[in-house]
Amino acid sequence: MPNTRRREILKVLLGAAALPLLPREALAALGAVHAQASNETSLKTLNPHQNAIVETIAEIILPETQTPGAKSAGVAGFIDVILTDWADATERQTFLEGLAAVDRRSQALFAGEFSALTPPQQLEIVRLLDEEFAAEGPAPSELGESYHQPHFSRTSFFAMMKRLTLTGYYTSSVGARRELHYHIVPTSILQCAPVTPRGAN
């Protein structure tokens, strides 16, 4: 897929309020990202330390319950591919700087790197990030946009992290079939199916 098309899809991805708003082509492309991530033998943009942060935050956002969580869905690998092949240099830098900021906050609050904290401490860090994200409200340029364009279209670190986690999860086979119990891309559409009159056999 040409890089310009990936950029268009990523722009929609970071701005859309719900996955059903994404076009079929975009959903198919994101499915291909999962396939690519599962075949990768090494990280491309994230280093192991950064990947551990991404994996932990993603699992906090979508934890394993009666259904698999973000880790089982391969969300961290999905994000690594998106950062490598889809994001531009500014978005990539924003995301990586955000990961570094998570560690700085962890050191300031709990005197340790994020990955070394206890689960309650990690949850507290993510809770603070989410509160700050929610408090920002829509960016000025987004006021007056349609209902399906919330402040997810800002490219702050946690906006990207949250959106990519949700998208990575719900476009994976785990998220789509075991959590939502549906196929994101329908196998066929009957445009002119005959209608049987009520009461007819």
Would residue 52 count as lying in a domain? yes
Would residue 74 count as lying in a domain? yes
Q: By C-alpha distance, which of 143, 6, 5, 133 is closest to 61? A: 133
Residues 46-96: pLDDT tens digits?
999 999 999 999 999 999 998 899 999 999 999 999 999 999 899 999 999
Would residue 192 count as lying in a domain? no
Cα distance between residue 64 and residue 68, in whole Å: 5
What is the pTM (predicted TM-score) of this model?
Answer: 0.77
What is the residue range of 17's domain?
A: 3-179
φ, ψ for residue 61 (rounded to 5)?
-65, -45
Tell me how many domains the chain contains.
Answer: 1
Buried b (16+ CB within 10 A) or exposed e, 34-53: bebbeeeeebebbeeebbbb
Cα distance between residue 1 and residue 178, in whole Å: 28
Would residue 193 count as lying in a domain? no
Q: Which residue has the higher pLDDT, 50 or 132?
A: 50
Residues 18-33: pLDDT tens digits?
565 566 777 788 888 9
pLDDT bracket for residue 12 (50, 70, 90): low
Would residue 200 count as lying in a domain? no
Would residue 196 count as lying in a domain? no
